Amino acid sequence: MTKPRTGTMTERLPNHWRLQVAGDPDRLTGTQRRLSRTIVGNRTEAKEALQRLVVEAGAGLHGDSGMTVGVLLEMFMATAALAPSTRSDWESVVNRNLLPEFGHLPLWKLTARDCDRLYARMGADGLGPSRRRCTRVVLHRVIAQAVRWAWLTRNPVSDATRPEVPRTIITPPSAATVRAILDAARSTDEVLHCWLQVAVATGARRGELCALRWCDFDLDARTVRIERSVSATKAHGIFIKTTKTGRVRLVSITSHAVAALRAQRERSAAVAVKAGREVQPTDLVFANDPAAQQPWRPELVTRRWERLRARTGHRNVRIHDLRHFVATELHRRHRHPHRRQPARSCPHLHDPRHLLGLAPRPRPPRRRTPRKTHRPSPMTRPDRGSDAGTSGSTPPADTTNRARGRASHPKADRSGTDPCADSCR
């Protein structure tokens, strides 16, 4: 059983009282601390102030004197498990925004008001809302770690006003714009044209496309397996990691992408012959060296894209808008925005050929087994000799609607035409 926390009250001068309470040991040095406070008032007011000080000390509102926010930031960055790109961004926030503002501040003195002042000062200095939101995320994560380490009992960052980031209106490019950019890339940069064809066919992210290997493609089945991504930082250089969500997905590609990949395979084979080697399944599709082991830097792909769009006159189209284009076209052509459609309403639901108005991939006819008609058993068969109006007779079932429903279904069309040609084009 722990001993109850108590304090002392000493009158130094008339109506001047010094209050002292035993605090928790310092977590850095281990020495016992005593909290002291001086107030002016009579004995009754001094007793009430002493009781409040005892409660505050027990609630952890007066933390370690040697633990500052700067020490906590250094310990957190040394122990946190962060991705290299995330660590680079967070170190920039810590060194440029948090340490100059809160580095010397004792940890227990950090309040929500201090956080609001920091956000306001960053806005006055011209920093954008995204930077202020990132600063809030880093500071909240750091103080939450201090709470888990039992250095604080609450997280004051949660009580501060969260910086708002205005929502941007995403306007994906049209199919005509994408065709114009692809035509320009075909005549100026064939390798970038192949990269863009795969991007339009899959809707993959920039780093995921740069990390593709030849073993990820099945050109005969027209599929690609996306399971890794390329990232680059100043401290770590270029490295390959998992995808953003950590998931692996299998995506179908268009015939134009397959043709561009076959041409890229021939170019890679020519480069490999000059280097005295052969193309291996583990070689990167888009590489900077003859050994095909050094991937493209994602930011360099963006620069090549900016030069390409400047030649076509579409300066407002970002490279990430191709991903929005694929998602928008799939949603617009095959799914109503406010109505849930059947899962098999269109046999070409996931075929990316429809994105650029291409012909759908032909599907082999489905073999159907003849439907067995149900015959009632002799025990339940009505009497043939009875009158049709008696209660024992069963009226014939009306199969008109059922037959009409089968005839109107797209799969019931045996003419060989595309059953969703009108709805998908």
The tens-digit pLDDT sequence of the chain (425 residues) is: 456 667 888 888 888 888 888 766 665 556 666 777 788 889 888 888 888 878 777 655 555 556 789 999 999 999 998 888 899 999 999 999 999 999 999 888 899 999 999 999 999 999 999 999 999 999 999 999 998 987 887 899 999 999 988 888 888 999 999 999 999 999 999 999 999 999 999 999 999 999 999 999 999 999 999 999 999 888 888 999 999 888 999 999 999 999 999 999 999 999 999 999 999 999 999 999 999 999 999 999 999 999 999 988 898 899 999 999 999 888 877 644 334 444 343 444 444 554 444 445 556 666 666 666 656 555 555 554 444 444 444 444 444 444 444 444 444 444 444 444 444 44
> In Å, how far are 16, 103, 127, 199, 382 from 53, measured between CA atoms?
16, 27, 40, 64, 93
In the block, which residue shows the tokens 């006003």? 161
Q: What is the tally of helices (H) and strands (E) in the chain?
A: 14, 8
| Spatial separation of the C-alpha atoms in residues 303 and 297, rounded to whole Å | 10
- Judge contact between 250 and 224, C-beta under 8 A: yes
| Spatial separation of the C-alpha atoms in residues 288 and 265, rounded to whole Å | 15
Helix (H, G, I), strand (E, B) or coil at 283: coil
pTM of the entire predicted model: 0.63
| Spatial separation of the C-alpha atoms in residues 278 and 269, rounded to whole Å | 7
167-193 per-residue burial string, b: 16 or more CB within 10 A, e: under 16: eeeeebbeeebbebbbebbeeebebbb
Q: At residue 334, what are phi and psi to the nearest 5 degrees?
A: -125, -10
- Here the tokens at position 155 are 């997280």
- Judge contact between 106 and 65, C-beta under 8 A: yes
Maximum Cα–Cα distance across the chain: 121
Q: Which residues pair with 225 in a beta bridge?
A: 250
| Spatial separation of the C-alpha atoms in residues 22 and 54, rounded to whole Å | 8
> In Å, how far are 21, 37, 64 from 60, measured between CA atoms?
13, 16, 9
| Spatial separation of the C-alpha atoms in residues 133 and 222, rounded to whole Å | 42
| Spatial separation of the C-alpha atoms in residues 421 and 144, rounded to whole Å | 56
> In Å, how far are 223, 225, 267 from 255, measured between CA atoms?
10, 16, 19
**Which distant-in-sequence residues (6+ apart) come within 8 Å of 365 by Cβ?**
none
CA 4 to chain centre: 50
